[in-house]
Amino acid sequence: MTATLDRIVHPDIHYSTETGHRKIGLGIGAVALMIAMVVAGLGIYAASLVGSAGDEETLGQVVAIAFGVNTTALVLLKTAIAVILIGILVRIWIRVESVKASIAALKPDVDAGSVKTGDIDTAFGPATVSAKAPERLPIHKMANAMWGPMLVMGVMFVFAGLVVSWVWAGNVGTSTGLGARAWTQGLQFLGEGFVLASISFLLASILSGLREGGGEVQAALGVPVKTLKMPPTAKAFVVLMMMGLMIEIAQFGLYIYITTFDDVARYVLWSSWLGPLREFGLGLLLAGIILALATIATALGFQFSRIRDIVAAGK
């Protein structure tokens, strides 16, 4: 699995070739945005049915369909983002080859001398100096292996939930309808959580690519390999991501649990806080993504500073 995913992000192409990820990603996103417009129309139609005698069942059906389709549109947009992140990952590795080839020509020909290994402080945070490129961290190994399966499973859960939403729409006001509603909400938000986790793993893979690629370039040039230590934002990102994913798994279990309730009042009571709980889980995953992006910005700042040092001083 890891080897297949590694091949996807290391295609054998010329450095100037457009990989197509951007166009494919934005294409999927544009389709999803059009679906979202239809859902907005359904919402307005549903609002017009409120209070109309005899339209209660139609209202319930429209609400059910809109929920299923809206979550599907959202997961398509997140899939579009994942495709674009894969494109960034591909570009990061192409960039490594370009930097390696160019810096060799740009750097002054000086002897790097003996390498003093150990910890150093930089403007971007603590870093280590080594003679060789660093190994891939365990968290990066996991990220590189997991983004693909999480994406596929997440999309499958959301589409399974879309199908169940039709059962919900066809059984409004019955116990079957209530059960299908819980399954739809639980499944689709589990899927959303998995897709956001996939995006998080892709961001961690980008960080892994920057770390490994940076080390590879320095080692190839024969200069001391300076590598940024994991910043606090990266550690907090992992914590938020794990918390968010666990909440999404828990909400799925709890939604299945409420399908066993015979008492509608108890079902309504549990649903009243399960809805916000599933959103809270997604919120934590998204907050983690902010930190991952901030960490990428820090890592890039460090890399550019290191490239300039090598070009200016040759070591």
Under 8 Å between Cβ of 55 and 49: yes
Contact with other proteins (CB under 8 A): which of 1, 13, 40, 239? 40
- In the range 286-305, which residues lie near other proteins by CB under 8 A? 286-287, 289-291, 293-294, 296-297, 300-301, 303-305
For residues 74 and 187, which CB has a smaller minimum distance to other proteins in the complex? Answer: 74
Task: Tell which residue, 305, 298, 136, 111, has the closest CA to residue 226.
Answer: 305
Task: Indicate whether 283 belongs to the interface with other proteins (CB under 8 A).
Answer: yes
Rounded to 5 degrees, φ, ψ at 122 are -125, 175
Contact with other proteins (CB under 8 A): which of 5, 9, 21, 213? 21
d(CA 98, CA 156): 38
Task: Indicate whether 30 belongs to the interface with other proteins (CB under 8 A).
Answer: yes
Task: Indicate whether 197 belongs to the interface with other proteins (CB under 8 A).
Answer: no
Binding mask 42-71 for other proteins (x = CB under 8 A): xxx-xx--xx-----------x------x-
Rounded to 5 degrees, φ, ψ at 189 are -80, -25
For residues 117 and 273, which CB has a smaller minimum distance to other proteins in the complex? Answer: 273
Angle between helices 232-258 and 175-221 (to 10 degrees): 160
Contacts for 119 with CB less than 8 Å, ≥ 6 apart? 126, 127, 128, 129, 229
- In the range 62-121, which residues lie near other proteins by CB under 8 A? 63, 70, 73-74, 77-78, 80-81, 84-85, 87-88, 91-92, 94-95, 98-99, 101-103, 105-106
Task: Indicate whether 150 belongs to the interface with other proteins (CB under 8 A).
Answer: no
Give one DSSP letter per residue of 234-274, joined into a string.
HHHHHHHHHHHHHHHHHHHHHHHHHTT---HHHHHHHHHHH
What does each C-alpha distance from 63 to 59, 163, 184 come to in angstroms?
A: 6, 15, 12
Q: How many residues bind other proteins (CB under 8 A)?
A: 77
Q: How far is the CB of 123 from other proteins (least distance, A)?
A: 13
Under 8 Å between Cβ of 32 and 73: yes
Q: How far is the CB of 117 from other proteins (least distance, A)?
A: 26
Task: Indicate whether 176 belongs to the interface with other proteins (CB under 8 A).
Answer: no
For residues 164 and 196, which CB has a smaller minimum distance to other proteins in the complex? Answer: 196
Sheet with 125-130, side-by-side order of all strands = 118-122, 125-130, 225-228
Contact with other proteins (CB under 8 A): which of 12, 18, 109, 119? 18
